[in-house]
């Protein structure tokens, strides 16, 4: 997270924390009690200018609302202590779609470097949760053709292009991917190696490994999930000439708009969704140009360029503050 925020030029550090449980096995009441007790234990560690939690796996805007409310019992009304909140509690418009929208902007920027565009390109998406579903919708709106996608409820394909709005309607009505009539069911193990222009892993880490990397047919991989490509796979893909856009840039849209939410809460002035999306576009494009410049100066690939950019920014700030050894 530290390198991700540095690459995005967001004035945050980075950390991860959570509770070892299976949220799907708990009732709403149990989740609320668990979240509130967790907040009671960490309320003196977080703060509007200290550490600002945001949603990740197994959590959502309701979880953030409980944290905000519990923290405020100790420290007074403090909407800026957490991001990803419901709109009615000071959440930012556009936050829900932010990571997926950032993935779309990152994809646009990368394809443009190769004289291509989303429109007319074929996409395979692994994961149809928040990130995958928003990425699929936005890519579809831009004229991209999503030809295969999958999640725990099934894996489907349609070489003519999946009707993403119809699939969203199907899912929102409680349907599973495998039961969607606008595509055929396929073997989940074939998804990541399916023929396509762009592959978007939007689920868990480590899905691209030395076993399946040699069979990947995509020309571009956009790492919408966190570290979906293990080091051995990364080396194999590089030798194959596959262009990989690293996670610390590709999925930074969420933390960027979390920063925007924090800024709005501090100012007490909320933005229109159009402004949120415009600023996100600006940040994603600026970060891509900076990564590209680093790649050129260091003669390296996008992953090394992104990490070099992030580490250099943190190192420079450390030295300027007089913390060097």
Phi and psi, residue 125, nearest 5°: -125, 125
- Say how far apart CA 48 and CA 268 lie, in whole Å: 13
Query: From CA 120, how far away is CA 144, in angstroms rounded?
Result: 6
C-alpha to C-alpha distances, 305 to 41, 259, 288, nearest whole angstrom: 39, 23, 10
Rg of the chain (C-alpha set) = 20
Identify the active-site residue in 4, 16, 41, 85.
Answer: 16
The tokens describing 23, both together, are: 């949220």
Please indicate whether residue 16 is annotated as part of the active site. yes
Beta bridge partners of 125: 149, 200
Q: Which residue pairs, CB below 8 angstroms and at least 24 apart, start in 302-309?
A: 302/243, 302/244, 302/245, 302/246, 302/249, 303/234, 303/244, 303/246, 306/3, 306/7, 306/246, 306/248, 306/249, 307/3, 307/246, 307/248, 309/6, 309/7
Interatomic CA distance for residues 8 and 2, integer angstroms = 10
The secondary structure of residue 269, as a DSSP letter, is: -
Active site residues: 16
């Amino acid at each position: 997270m530290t390198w991700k925020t540095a690459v995005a030029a967001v004035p945050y550090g980075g950390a991860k924390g959570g509770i070892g449980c299976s949220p799907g096995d708990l009732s709403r009441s149990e989740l609320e009690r668990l979240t509130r007790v967790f907040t009671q234990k960490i309320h003196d560690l977080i703060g509007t200018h200290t550490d600002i939690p945001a949603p990740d796996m197994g959590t959502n805007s309701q979880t953030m609302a409980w944290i905000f409310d519990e923290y405020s019992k100790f420290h007074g009304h403090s909407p800026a202590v957490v991001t990803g909140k419901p709109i009615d509690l000071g959440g930012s418009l556009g936050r829900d779609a932010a990571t997926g929208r950032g993935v779309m902007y990152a994809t646009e920027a990368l394809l443009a470097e190769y004289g291509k565009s989303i429109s007319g390109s074929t996409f395979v998406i692994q994961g149809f949760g928040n990130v995958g579903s928003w990425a699929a919708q936005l890519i579809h709106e831009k004229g991209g053709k999503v030809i295969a996608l999958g999640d725990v409820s099934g894996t489907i394909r349609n070489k003519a292009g999946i009707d993403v709005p119809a699939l969203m309607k199907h899912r929102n009505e409680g349907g599973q991917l495998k039961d969607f009539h606008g595509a055929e069911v396929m073997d989940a193990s074939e998804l990541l190696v399916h023929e396509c222009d762009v592959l978007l892993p939007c689920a868990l880490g480590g899905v691209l490994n030395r076993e399946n990397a040699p069979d990947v047919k995509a020309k571009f991989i956009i790492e919408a999930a966190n570290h979906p490509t293990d080091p051995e796979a990364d080396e194999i893909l590089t030798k194959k000439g596959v262009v990989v856009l690293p996670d610390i840039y590709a999925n930074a849209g969420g933390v960027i708009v979390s920063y925007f939410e924090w800024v709005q809460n501090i100012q007490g002035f909320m933005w229109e969704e159009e402004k949120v999306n415009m600023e996100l576009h600006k940040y994603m494009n600026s970060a891509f140009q900076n990564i590209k410049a680093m790649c050129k100066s260091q003669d390296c690939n996008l992953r090394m360029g992104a990490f070099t950019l992030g580490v250099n920014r943190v190192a420079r700030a450390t030295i300027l503050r007089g913390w060097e050894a």
